Structure 1
Amino acid sequence: MFLRVVIMLQTIAVFVQAITAGVMLSSPHGGALHSAGSYTLFVVVVVHVIAAVLAWRPGGGPARPIWLALGFLVLVSAQVAVGLAGVAVVHVPLGMLLFGLSVLHLVRIWATTGRQAAPVPGGSAV
C-alpha cells in the first residue's frame, strides 16, 4: 500500500514539474518553483527506492520494483544534470519520458496490488 502511495506522489511530482516548467517560461519566479520541484521529486524518488526495498524485504515479494525504482532514480539524476547544464533539447523529452514511465509504473502497481487484494465476485480468480 505504501509503495502505491509513493508512486502516486512521484507521478504527481513529475506532472507538477511540467507545470512549473511552463511557469518558468512565463514568469521571473518560475525558475525557483521548478528548482524546488526538482528537489521534491528527487526526495520522492529516493523514498520510492526505500519503499520498494521495504515492500520486497519483509514480505518476500519480487525484486522487480526495486530495479524499476533504481532505474527511475538514475533517470531523474540524469534529468537534474541535464537541466542544470541547460540542455533543453534533452531535458524536455526526458521529462516527458519520466512522466510516461511513472504513469505506467503507477498503473501496473495499482493493478497488480489491487488484483491480489480483492477477489472477483462469484469465486472465480482473475
Structure 2
Amino acid sequence: MAAQTTAKPAGLKVLHATVALQTAAVFVQSITAGLMMTVPYGHVLHSAGSYALWVVTVAHVVVAVLAWRPGGGSTEPIWYSAGFLALITAQVFLGVFHVTVLHVPLAAVLLVAGVVYLFRIRR
C-alpha cells in the first residue's frame, strides 16, 4: 500500500510564507525600536520598518482572500489579516504621534499574536 501524501495547495503555502514574513517583520521592529534609543539613525530604521510591515500586512490580506477564494475554505485567515491590518495601522499612527504609552504595549500584543497565529496556521 502506497503512503498518501497531502500536499498543501499553493495558496496555503503562500499564506504561510506571508504570515512568517509578517511575524519576522514585527520581530525586527522590536529590534529597531531598541536601536532607536541607542543609535542616532535608529528612528529612520524603525520608521522604514513600520511602513514595510504595513505593506506586508496589506499583502497578507490580499493573499488570505486569494487563498480562500478558490477552495471556499475557512475565512479565519481573512479575519485575522484584516484585524492585524487595523492594529498595525493604529500602531503606525500611535508611533507617528508619539503615544508611547499605547504604542509599546500594542507592539508586544502584535508580536505575541503574530507568533501564536504563525504556529496555529502551520498546523
TM-score (norm 1): 0.87
Partner of 1:80: 92
Aligned-pair distance for 1:59?
Answer: 1.6
Partner of 1:67: 79
**Which AA in structure 1 matches 2:43?**
G
The residue matched to 1:48 in structure 2 has which SS? helix
CA–CA separation in structure 2 for the residues paired with 1:50 and 1:104: 21
Partner of 1:10: 22
Partner of 1:56: 68
Partner of 1:107: 119
**Which AA in structure 1 matches 2:51?**
Y
Please list every run of 5 or more consecutive structure 2 residues that lacks an aligned counterpart in the other structure. 1-12
Superposed CA RMSD? 0.5
1:24-67 deviation digits (Å, cap 9, x = unpaired): 00011000000010011001000100010011001211111101
Partner of 1:92: 104
CA–CA separation in structure 1 for the residues paired with 2:115 and 2:109: 10
The residue matched to 1:16 in structure 2 has which SS? helix
Could you list the runs of 4 or more consecutive aligned residues of structure 1 that deviate by over 6 angstroms after TM superposition? none
The residue matched to 1:42 in structure 2 has which SS? helix
TM-score (norm 2): 0.89
Figure out how many residues of one structure are paired with residues of the other and give that number. Answer: 111
